[in-house]
Structure 1
Amino acid sequence: MARRCELTGKGVMTGNNVSHALNRTRRRFLPNLCDVTLLSEALDRPVKLRVSAAALRTVEHRGGLDAFLMKAKDVELSDRALGIKKEIRAALAS
């Protein structure tokens, strides 16, 4: 399973551990991913996603999953999130 947020695209970053003697060794910075179930109001059903804690705060700030996905760029979203966005757009149109 990829360590990537399905809503924002945030992934693993790399850098250095730097000791007091300035010795540098490579390390990985992992995103804080959470398995969450978000409720879609347009679809009237829960949606399971793997998102970062920062994305979860943003979803709440924008007023829910539907509002977040309508504002999000398609490039940042995962394939599953794009499918959900398409379903929501169809549900709102009808």
Structure 2
Amino acid sequence: MHTQMSPFEALQAAVHATGGQSALARVCGRSQPAVWKWVQSAQRLPAEHVLTVEAATGIPRHLLRPDIYPADLGPSPAWKGVDQGTQRVSFNQNSALQERAA
């Protein structure tokens, strides 16, 4: 399904998947006008938002920014997790530090 998508089409799909430009802006911690500018000027998603958008939408990073994440590297760990039905685990740094001190 995702194999022939350009980076711009992937950005448009991310806007649609999140529910609109305002929703994608919230996901990225940006304003809606910033997302509007990305879409209207046919820009690529800024690199600092690729992993967040991938996690929120399931659109693979290599489609959002193939210049940074080539497809030949294979699917991202998050994408593999979706296919395998695994759950994400949060890491509490304080607990890990306390365990090391003991």
Q: Same fold (TM over 0.5)?
A: no
> What is the TM-score with the length of structure 1 in the denominator?
0.29
Q: Which is higher, the Rg of structure 1 or of structure 2?
A: 1
> Normalising to structure 2: TM-score of the pair?
0.28
1 or 2, which has the higher strand percentage? 1
